[in-house]
Chains A and B, each alone.
Chain A
């Protein structure tokens, strides 16, 4: 009897179900990157090398001062620590980090682009980000990187009659110049522009999430090995992990080795005063459908069979209102602030939000109050830190 009582109380650290969930979160379960058939240069080293050059080149902007790396800083997990990104102007969204980004089906916080290469094109012409125009980018590529470009993508088109500045999305003058161009010219410029995105995407595919203390702990737990001293979890971290995959329901959306379900949810995150109205996914659906560089557009390589995400996209419904992408939590502890517009300055605030689960200003929040104690909230934060060590 005494033995039975002792066995009952000697609660194992994790149940078999918990162990299974923990193993599913470890980095070693991340599948290899699938080929991107919509970008036939995705795994061409020369394309990735050119993409890397372009990523860090401030010449790739309207004012010559801003590059992708201005906001996606290489020594800061490819993000900028700001509540809202600042390029040529101040945007209304938090810069997303890039580790593992090529595994995403949707890009930006609201998924308004459906491929990494189509995403890379968007800031180039956003007046608040790189503030350029596609005709100017095509001229710049020809003048500065013509030989490298042609070795990868083939001969550049004749741009001699293409205006210096023109874009369907630019200023009135740029739009007028774009309208005056021939179909062949717009097609030529769009092709060079798409290839810029494909080169940058090829580079970004190489940015992978690093192994963390959590991953080493998870492997040890799965194999039954005794963790090394620095990898062993404290009682607080173990409680946090148990809450994360249990009572706190975090793992419902922050699932798999990237801690994201790659989907969009309204979790009642409040808007930021002074920023333009932001309704999240519900508005992005129309933007990605209208994007000429989307998977069903003319610039996709390979077959349309790769376009399932766009083809079977949810296009309407109340759950899209103020729904934003579930971000990966890898490295999150060392990159405050949080949420799509930097609403929360610390993980304590994030966890407090999810514990309290306030109603959404518009639409319906999917989360429910958790009533976590101070100790439980601190434990969750302690666990999240193991994903950044």
Chain B
């Protein structure tokens, strides 16, 4: 009898150990790996390599739920500012299957390749995508920025 109890006790111990390990694994598992993997760099070369585009909030910080303006800076690969570009903005939240809550527009050219993109609003936390279609003397190209809130 005594040896049977020993087996039962050992079994219980192993089960507890397994449960504990599962708890540790579950609690330390990374959340939303697809968000962590998104490229959220603020500066990149456009799809066909025509421009180097940088995208930054004009006031430095992103405020959720408020209309705000960002600056899109366009340079040639050689580093010269791109002037007179026509810019169309679109985007949305791919994970929620919806577009932008506003229609942002390029409203001003501030010189030195900098364009003010006004009317942006990020209504919820998560991964946002902003697509820019850029047309300038050098040709037309596109770039996509990911913004993570």
Interface residues of chain A, those whose CB is within 8 Å of chain B, are: 1, 4-6, 8-9, 11, 17, 252-253, 255-256, 261-265, 308-309, 311-315, 317, 319, 364, 366
Contacts and interface: CB of A to CB of B under 8 A. Distances in A.
Given A255-B124, A313-B102, 6 more contacts: A8-B23, A8-B24, A9-B23, A262-B123, A314-B99, A315-B103
B65 A256 contact: yes
Given A4-B24, A9-B20, A312 B124 contact: no
B59 to A, nearest CB: 14
Contacts of A312: 67, 102-105, 118-119, 121
Interface string B78-103: 00000000000000000011111111
11 contacts: A5-B20, A8-B23, A8-B27, A17-B31, A253-B124, A255-B125, A256-B64, A261-B65, A312-B121, A314-B102, A366-B96
B16 A5 contact: yes
A230 B123 CA distance: 33
B20 A4 contact: yes
Contacts of B65: 255-256, 261-262
Interface string B10-33: 000000110111011001000100
B67 A309 contact: yes
Candidate in A8, A262, A265, A314 with the most chain B CB atoms within 10 angstroms: A8
A314 B101 contact: yes
B126 interface: yes
Nearest to A319: B98
Interface of B: 16-17, 19-21, 23-24, 27, 31, 64-65, 67, 96-105, 118-119, 121, 123-126
Contact of A319 (B19, B21, B31, B99): B99
Contacts of A256: 64-65
A336 B23 CA distance: 40
Contacts of B121: 312
A261 B123 contact: yes
Contacts of B124: 252-253, 255, 261
Nearest to B126: A252
A6 B102 CA distance: 49
B34 to A, nearest CB: 15
B27 A11 contact: yes
Contacts of A314: 99-103
A308 B23 contact: no
A305 B16 CA distance: 64
B20 A308 contact: no
B101 to A, nearest CB: 5
A315 B100 CA distance: 11
Task: Tell me which of B98, B105, B118, B121 has the highest count of chain A C-beta atoms within 10 A of its own C-beta.
Answer: B98
Contacts of B19: 5, 9
A306 B84 CA distance: 27
Contacts of B64: 255-256
Nearest to B19: A9
Contacts of A5: 16-17, 19-21, 23-24
Given A312-B118, A313-B103, A366 B98 contact: yes
Most buried by B among A4, A5, A265: A5
B23 to A, nearest CB: 4
A340 B64 CA distance: 25
Contacts of A1: 17
Nearest to A317: B99
Nearest to B18: A5
A265 B20 contact: no
Nearest to A256: B65
B35 to A, nearest CB: 12
A312 B104 CA distance: 6
A54 B121 CA distance: 35
Contacts of B100: 314
A364 B118 CA distance: 28
Nearest to A12: B27
A167 B96 CA distance: 43
